[in-house]
Structure 1
Amino acid sequence: MTEKSTGTVFLGGPFKGIVDPATGEMDKKHRRRFEALLDRLDSEGHVVHNAHRRESWGAAFLTPEECTRLDFDEISASDVFVAFPGAPASPGTHVELGWASAMGKPVVLLLEPDAEYAFLVRGLHTVADVTVITVGDDDLALADQVSAAVRRAVSGAAG
């Protein structure tokens, strides 16, 4: 049995750019990856904030004013920020990375192996507590790595 955590996590990443215009919902590949992470973190007892789930995978987008305030407040209340910066870059996620690092939140960056990232993403570790995880094709292995990184961040925040 997994020990329950009281840690709070914000899971961010590209959204509008990966919504299929034909269905109005997030594409299946990305949705499966987010769901694997959400399922794992939820099952471990973390409180997990995530705009994708909150906004029904694209079927119920909030207004810019609503989602900006909610994301900011939820990142503020979180112990750790986990994010796919996007390749190509997700402008919203980059803003959230700035918020989280300015707030002193530990950051777990999920990077594609062959993608190019902005210099400020690649150098974020020089001004913030950053753990980098390289994303592969195995969503369950990714969930294992993210889970371990979140546990370390939450235990560091508590200690």
Structure 2
Amino acid sequence: MATKKVFLAGPFKSLVDEKTGLMSTYERGKLESLISFFENEGWLVHNAHKREGWGKDFMTPLQCTKIDFDEISTCDLFAAFPGSPASPGTHIEIGWASALKKKIVLFLEKDKDYAFLIQGLHAVADVEYISYKDTDDLLENIKNIFAAYKAESQ
């Protein structure tokens, strides 16, 4: 059986501290927790944050755009933090995933406001929303969704 691929997206440049050139420990921790979860389940994870050294090794716009589009085109699952406020790059990637008919999981932090097109995306695409309050809650919810997804694909 071929290895399943997940593309994990979320705000990036706006989360990089100008002084350190790196993402905060909290934001990085959320992504690392999800990366570890998927890898432990045997999935190959594509994540720009990790690829680009959590902010210290940003690629050029031409490089990252091509790589991200190609990776989304070949992924089995697209998962993202849309950002609140909205992350323009992540919203473009969500649009690509939707147009490419990918299974999409969106992580929405409780008590945050999200764009109407994110809230209504399930009307035109295969979207699962995960509402969470903290990283532990996020991981518990993704485990439940993932167990159901695994059962569907067997």
Q: TM-score range by the shorter chain?
A: over 0.9
- 1:123 is the counterpart of 2:120: yes
2:5·2:77 contact (CA, 8 Å) conserved in 1? yes
Describe the SS at the equivalent of 2:94.
helix
- 1:62 is the counterpart of 2:59: yes
Q: 2-side partners of 1:79 and 1:153: how far apart?
A: 11
Deviation at 1:141, TM superposition (A): 3.5
User: What amino acid is aligned across from residue 6 of structure 1 in structure 2?
Assistant: T
Q: Deviations over 1:59-94 (max 9, x none)?
A: 100000000011101111111110000011100000
Deviation at 1:154, TM superposition (A): 5.8
Q: 2-side partners of 1:150 and 1:68: how far apart?
A: 28
**1:113-152 to 2 correspondence within 5 Å?**
113-137=110-134, 139-152=135-148
Q: What is the CA RMSD across the aligned residues, in angstroms?
A: 1.9
The more displaced of 67-76 and 111-120 is 111-120
Deviation at 1:147, TM superposition (A): 3.6
1:5·1:44 contact (CA, 8 Å) conserved in 2? no
Describe the SS at the equivalent of 1:48.
strand
Alignment coverage as a number of residue pairs: 154
Q: 1-side partners of 2:76 and 2:125: how far apart?
A: 14
1:108·1:149 contact (CA, 8 Å) conserved in 2? no
Instruction: Please identify runs of 4+ aligned residues in structure 1 that moved more than 6 A.
Output: none
TM-score by length of 2: 0.92
TM-score by length of 1: 0.90
Among residues 5, 16, 34, which one is paired with 1:8 in the alignment? 5
Deviation at 1:112, TM superposition (A): 1.3
Q: 2-side partners of 1:148 and 1:34: how far apart?
A: 18
Among residues 79, 92, 95, which one is paired with 1:95 in the alignment? 92
Q: Match for residue 25 of structure 2?
A: 28
State the identity %. 50
Mark the runs of 5 or more structure 2 residues left unpaired by the alignment.
Answer: none
User: What amino acid is aligned across from residue 48 of structure 2 in structure 1?
Assistant: A
1:108·1:146 contact (CA, 8 Å) conserved in 2? no
Among residues 108, 111, 133, which one is paired with 1:111 in the alignment? 108
